[in-house]
Structure 1
Amino acid sequence: MRVNCTTCGHKGRISSREEVTRAYVKLYCQCLDAQCGHTWVSTLSFSHTLRPSAQQLDTLILDRFKSLPADMQRKLVEHMGRDRPAA
């Protein structure tokens, strides 16, 4: 990740970071131009998901299944049992 000085526009570097939450991080930065020497804090934050993680798919399906009425859950389980190939 590249940062630029907010004062002179020269390249800067991230000297440290503070993770406030998993979705919000404070970046402590310093300008690499010795004549400027500006230091500042920038923030990095999560905005939104474009495609859910494949690792979350099982959880999403199970949560959705649990939110269905009992009769609908039973119908789905019965339907899944019919579609299984013989072993």
Structure 2
Amino acid sequence: MGIDERTLQFDFPKDNEELTKNILNEVYKSLLEKGYNPVNQLVGYLISGDPTYITNYNGARALIRKLERDEILEEVLKAYLDIK
């Protein structure tokens, strides 16, 4: 038959949206407090998946690893596009 041409839907649970936002804010603050450029560090993590881009300070690395990278990207994209 060939390649399945159906479009799959990805549903992100609403409960995770607030958790993702809170974790990103905490990680951002920790990176900033340690003197890093938080945006650059988060981009490095999102692109590579390497958690060493995130500091251990204040448990930031453990926090960011509670989230899947696709969850983070979804939140960032929604905020950028200003959609709910």
Regarding TM over 0.5, the answer is: no
User: Greater RCO between the two (CA within 8 Å, min separation 6)?
Assistant: 2
Larger radius of gyration: 1
Tell me the TM-score normalised to structure 1 length.
0.24
Higher strand share: 1
Higher helix share: 2
Tell me the TM-score normalised to structure 2 length.
0.25
